[in-house]
């Protein structure tokens, strides 16, 4: 297929990029054999705007997307988090090309009101809506144009290339026993859990929390290196209990071989094999399991290695991208996608 992928492709980061599910989707679409053109709305807006003030470039950016669609003649447009592009622009693209398919993707949580509003807005124009929350919780958006689908957080083998599950606990490369990176403090009380965990663990336990407790956040290569030097990781969402919802860190940690602790309320056991992710229900169960895996390194390496292998085999970005194409275009699935069984 010929595909335009509209999202933030971080061109103005000049290499100091975040680990981006949008870029993973782009590379996955290419690996799946599609002809893909990236349209980075934020970068185009800054380039086109007077004085490089992004908001002043909004109108021109919408015009440039229309121009791009006219020239490239896509079969499919995949929309990510591109808030500068109006629904009216996508409607005009469809008017000019009635056979075009529009797939919208949203990787942010439903409990943030502005994000829920963004999903509802895109459901009015898209043919298919893919959200990182499970379909049980997406029914609030039913009744609009878009068919509703879950999408997981994928690994990219070129990005999640480390494997700390292959390293013994005494390997000098492993400098962190447990890692949790976060900077967002809105719509969450997870800081209390992190504080309780810190207080319960021994003083020599290397629990590192970049972005919290006045520690600087990590981006780009610094973040890559930190993952590659960590044994275990905390997958704490700002709020828990949404079906299959997780921040993208679950794939970043699992894909690099960290043992991942995640809340049982997300129900990942629906499709994840046994002895992969480690589930907890509350602070006490989390503390108990962190201690157990810290002292049983063979068990840590076994579970983390199984989880890494499963993510790379079944939840990689090539399968993820092809699933989005097939579901949006209503093709028969070419793979037994584990999250769709």
In terms of domains, do 202 and 112 share one? no
> Which residues fall within 8 angstroms of residue 131, CB to CB, at 6 or more apart?
105, 106, 107, 110, 119, 138, 148, 149, 150, 151
Residue-wise pLDDT for 18-72, tens only, equals: 778 999 999 999 999 999 999 999 999 999 988 777 778 899 999 999 999 999 9
Whether the full predicted model's pTM is greater than 0.85, yes or no, is yes
| pLDDT score recorded for residue 185 | 62
In a domain, 267, yes or no: yes
In terms of domains, do 308 and 328 share one? no
Alpha carbon distance, N-terminus to C-terminus of the chain = 25
| pLDDT score recorded for residue 188 | 65
CB 189 within 8 A of CB 240: no
Residue-wise pLDDT for 301-317, tens only, equals: 999 999 999 999 999 99
In a domain, 279, yes or no: yes
Residue-wise pLDDT for 181-208, tens only, equals: 987 665 567 888 999 999 999 999 999 9
CB 124 within 8 A of CB 144: yes
Mean pLDDT of the chain: 94
In terms of domains, do 139 and 172 share one? no
In a domain, 243, yes or no: yes
d(CA 3, CA 69): 10
Which of helix, strand or coil describes residue 321? helix
Say which CATH number the domain at 189 has: 3.40.50.2000
In a domain, 159, yes or no: no
In terms of domains, do 200 and 82 share one? no
In terms of domains, do 73 and 174 share one? no
In a domain, 291, yes or no: yes
**Which band of pLDDT confidence, cut at 50, 70 and 90, is reported for residue 325?**
very high
In terms of domains, do 145 and 251 share one? no
Which of residues 211 and 78 earns the better pLDDT score?
78
Q: Which two tokens stand for residue 194?
A: 């992190």
The answer on pLDDT for 90 being more than 60 is yes
In terms of domains, do 149 and 11 share one? yes
In terms of domains, do 226 and 119 share one? no
d(CA 223, CA 250): 14
Q: Which residues pair with 5 in a beta bridge?
A: 38, 78
CB 196 within 8 A of CB 209: no
Helical ranges in 256-316 per DSSP H: 283-295, 297-314
Task: List the domain range (segments joined by +) for residue 41.
Answer: 2-154+316-340
In terms of domains, do 176 and 309 share one? yes
CB 232 within 8 A of CB 221: no
In a domain, 266, yes or no: yes
Helical ranges in 9-81 per DSSP H: 21-31, 41-48, 58-72
| pLDDT score recorded for residue 201 | 94
Q: How many domains, in total, are found in the chain?
A: 2
In terms of domains, do 136 and 192 share one? no
Cα 32 to chain center, whole Å? 19
In a domain, 97, yes or no: yes
In a domain, 81, yes or no: yes
In terms of domains, do 174 and 88 share one? no
Q: Annotate 126-163 with b (16+ C-beta within 10 A) or e (fewer).
A: bbbbbbbbbeebbeebeebebbbbbbbbbbbeebbebb
In terms of domains, do 172 and 126 share one? no
Residue-wise pLDDT for 203-219, tens only, equals: 999 999 998 888 888 98
Average pLDDT over residues 174-186: 85
Q: Which two tokens stand for residue 217?
A: 């956040």
Angle at 204 between CA 169 and CA 252, to 5 degrees: 50
């Amino acid at each position: 297929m010929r595909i335009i992928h509209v999202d933030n492709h971080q061109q103005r980061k000049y290499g100091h990029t975040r680990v981006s599910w949008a870029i993973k989707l782009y590379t996955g679409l290419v690996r799946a054999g599609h002809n893909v053109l990236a349209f980075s709305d934020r970068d185009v807006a800054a380039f086109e705007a007077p004085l490089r003030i992004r908001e002043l470039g909004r109108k021109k950016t919408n015009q440039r997307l229309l121009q791009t669609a006219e020239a490239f003649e896509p079969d499919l447009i995949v929309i990510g988090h591109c808030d500068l592009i109006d629904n009216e622009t996508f409607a005009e693209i469809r008017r000019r090309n009635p056979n075009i398919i529009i797939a919208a993707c949203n990787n942010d949580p439903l409990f943030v009101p502005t994000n829920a509003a963004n999903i509802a807005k895109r459901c009015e124009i898209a043919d298919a809506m893919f959200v990182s929350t499970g379909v049980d919780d997406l029914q609030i958006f039913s009744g609009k144009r878009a068919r509703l689908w879950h999408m997981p957080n994928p690994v990219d083998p070129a990005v999640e290339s480390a494997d700390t599950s292959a390293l013994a606990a005494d390997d000098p490369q492993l400098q962190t026993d447990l890692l949790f990176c976060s900077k967002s403090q809105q719509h969450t009380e997870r800081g209390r859990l992190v504080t309780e965990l810190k207080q319960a663990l021994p003083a020599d336990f290397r629990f590192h929390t970049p972005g919290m407790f006045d520690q600087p956040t990590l981006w780009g290569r610094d973040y890559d290196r930190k993952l590659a030097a960590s044994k275990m990781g905390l997958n704490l969402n700002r709020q828990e209990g949404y079906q299959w919802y997780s921040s993208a860190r679950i794939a970043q940690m699992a894909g690099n071989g960290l043992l991942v602790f995640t809340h049982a309320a997300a129900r990942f056991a629906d499709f994840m094999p046994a002895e992969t992710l480690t589930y907890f229900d509350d602070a006490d169960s989390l503390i108990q399991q962190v201690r157990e895996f810290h002292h049983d390194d063979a068990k840590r390496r076994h579970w983390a290695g199984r989880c890494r292998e499963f993510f790379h085999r079944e939840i990689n970005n090539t399968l993820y991208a092809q699933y989005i194409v097939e579901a949006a275009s209503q093709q028969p699935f070419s793979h037994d996608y584990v999250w769709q069984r």
